[in-house]
Structure 1
Amino acid sequence: MELNLMWTGNGDGSKGSNSPDGNKANDFASQKSHRVNFDWREFRANLFAQEKAGKAESDAHNQTGTPQESKPLGLKWAHPIPVPETGCVLVATEKLDGVRTFERTVVLLLRSGTRHPQEGPFGVVINRPLNKKVRHMKPTNMELATTFADFSLHFGGPLEASMFLLKTGEKTKLEEFEEVIPGLCFGARNSLDEAAALVKKGVLKPQDFRFFVGYAGWQLDQLREEIESDYWYVAACSSNLICGGSSGSSSESLWEEILQLMGGHYSELSRKPKRDV
């Protein structure tokens, strides 16, 4: 079985496509943001955890007659959400077992997309380290060949484009890059010069970056249909999981951890062996 992943741009990541190399990857930089320094995702996760704890407390109280104390949210959390949003993760279900490109993957959605055929949702697989450095790819870009030569590479998806994630810290706003969630931005080939300049100035450190070979992209209805067909679970999870999740870990550990944190039948899936296809 093979998923019909679609990319409506040209192979060179030309402008006007849903490729992250297009103009829209830099549109965000020209928009002055006046956001409050507040992670609404964490606020929502707290509400979700309180609701979940309330149900568990009610059940426990009914069984034992003793109320149970609710646990604090903690640094690592994940919970299901009904529809994709920028900064969410797509967690491969058992239906993708045997599909080598996507089995047991976690895809960070960098943009949730629009209905325009060239502006669909796209993201990167964040739990597939390649055990290679940038220099092993013999890059022609000067900054990749020098400043970023010894940075680790990760498989980002089957579609052609070089991308990177950049951990900025929740209090740092870098207008040169597009924010995915508080403290995490992304960039493409056309923003390498800006990234290199910040490294040379000491504003950013090598460990703040994660470079990806390829990315995953869909048309909006296509992704919706794959979710409705149970190929993906949609979840929100903490930046601690996304930013620190997989730089040296096995490809399945982050997948398992997110499902376990989601609880219920999701947690049960994390313990199942791969299906024979």
Structure 2
Amino acid sequence: MFRPSTNTSSHGRGLSANNRANGCARLSKRKNREGVGIRMRMDSAPKHDGDLQNLSPRKYGALTNIEGINYSRLPSGEQQQKEDWRTFRARLVSANSRVVSGQKQKPRNFNSAEWAHEIKNIEEGCVLVATEELKNRPLLSEVVILVLQWPVNSSACKLIVLNKMFPYDISSMDLVDPMLRNLRLPAFMGGPAMGGLGFGSKFHVLTREKGVAGFESILPGLYVGNIGVALQSAMSSDVAMRLYLGEVELEKRHLTAQVQAFGWWKIVACSRDAIFSTIFNTAQMWRHINDLLAT
């Protein structure tokens, strides 16, 4: 009888093939990991605004492998915990940006109280700054618009114009809510949409004061109210507030087309003080934000 052959060359070749396959898989995984690490080091700035939004202060440790960031200019310790994510993002953008000064490039200066930088995607609390494409349109020239609502599950958005004074004396106007006539606040033209109930049925009041009844945060340090409780607070409070009559209601796709196809707007994230400053006149807001973008 023939005994089973002890030659396991065929079986050995099978094991060798498996080993080679496993080895290739491990090598591929290692290369993928190395490739990710290389890409992280090469990409000194996130490519999408969504990436920036994920860079919360709780993730500072994950940034230490990314080259190109000047960490000496970033906050540390207790300041990191207090800084909101928009300011943190602005600080990262500033640390990775340079401006031309004379014949040289230098890092951007960063003021944690007053800053502005462009972003790629519209988000709640950002502003739309009119470009030179709108300079021949009187109603839109040098306009700054605040995005109040940009809901994920809706095709519509809501905005208000920030820097166009209301052309009439509201104390003598027939407004839907008579309380509006009694407000001693600077009045602005928030937009053409006044509501179906009559003129002035849609309004918004902005303030920098935290904790005022009827107001909700639209971005860190800026609060908006649009209900009767907010009006009562505005009447009884001596803090700085601004009244905006009307609003802008648009399809999100139409606004996106205005940005991408027509170049009408810059999408800008900016600090509370760049929107609601007591230092400069509101009519100067458009120029002031553009100056912040350039410095």
User: Which structure's CA Rg is the greater one?
Assistant: 2
Of 247, 253, 264, the residue aligned with 1:231 is 264
CA distance 1:112–1:43, change in 2 (3 Å): same
Deviation at 1:96, TM superposition (A): 1.4
Corresponding position of 1:33: none
What are the within-5 Å matches in structure 2 for residues 1-277 of structure 1? 38-53=83-98, 60=104, 71-114=109-152, 116-117=154-155, 120-130=156-166, 132-146=168-182, 148=183, 150-161=184-195, 162-169=202-209, 172-173=210-211, 176-188=214-226, 191-192=227-228, 194-199=229-234, 204-205=237-238, 207-229=239-261, 230-244=263-277, 248-250=281-283, 253-263=284-294
The alignment covers a number of residue pairs equal to 207
Contact 2:234 2:241 in 1 (8 A): no
Deviation at 1:175, TM superposition (A): 6.8
Contact 2:116 2:292 in 1 (8 A): yes
User: Which SS does the other structure have where 2:97 is aligned?
Assistant: helix
Task: Find the aligned partners of 1:214 and 1:80 in 2 and give their Cα distance.
Answer: 26
Task: Find the aligned partners of 1:82 and 1:46 in 2 and give their Cα distance.
Answer: 17
Going by fraction, where is helix more abundant, 1 or 2?
A: 2
Contact 1:164 1:187 in 2 (8 A): yes
Deviation at 1:43, TM superposition (A): 0.9
Task: Find the aligned partners of 1:184 and 1:100 in 2 and give their Cα distance.
Answer: 28
Contact 1:96 1:102 in 2 (8 A): yes
Contact 2:94 2:107 in 1 (8 A): no
- State the TM-score, normalized to the length of structure 1: 0.64
Gaps of 5+ in 2: 1-80, 196-201
Contact 1:87 1:180 in 2 (8 A): yes
Gaps of 5+ in 1: 1-35, 62-67, 265-277
Task: Find the aligned partners of 1:225 and 1:186 in 2 and give their Cα distance.
Answer: 27
Task: Find the aligned partners of 2:258 and 2:243 in 1 and give their Cα distance.
Answer: 27
Deviations 1:197-248 (A, max 9, x none): 4346x5x32x432111221121111111111021111001110011127984
CA distance 1:235–1:135, change in 2 (3 Å): same
Could you tell me which amino acid in structure 1 is paired with residue 84 of structure 2?
D
User: Which SS does the other structure have where 1:129 is aligned?
Assistant: coil
Task: Find the aligned partners of 1:246 and 1:216 in 2 and give their Cα distance.
Answer: 27
Corresponding position of 1:11: none
Deviations 1:141-166 (A, max 9, x none): 242233x1x22211112222432233
User: Which SS does the other structure have where 2:166 is aligned?
Assistant: strand
Task: Find the aligned partners of 2:151 and 2:279 in 1 and give their Cα distance.
Answer: 25
Q: Bigger relative contact order, structure 1 or 2, given CA contacts below 8 A and separation 6+?
A: 1
> How many percent identity over aligned positions?
24
Corresponding position of 2:77: none
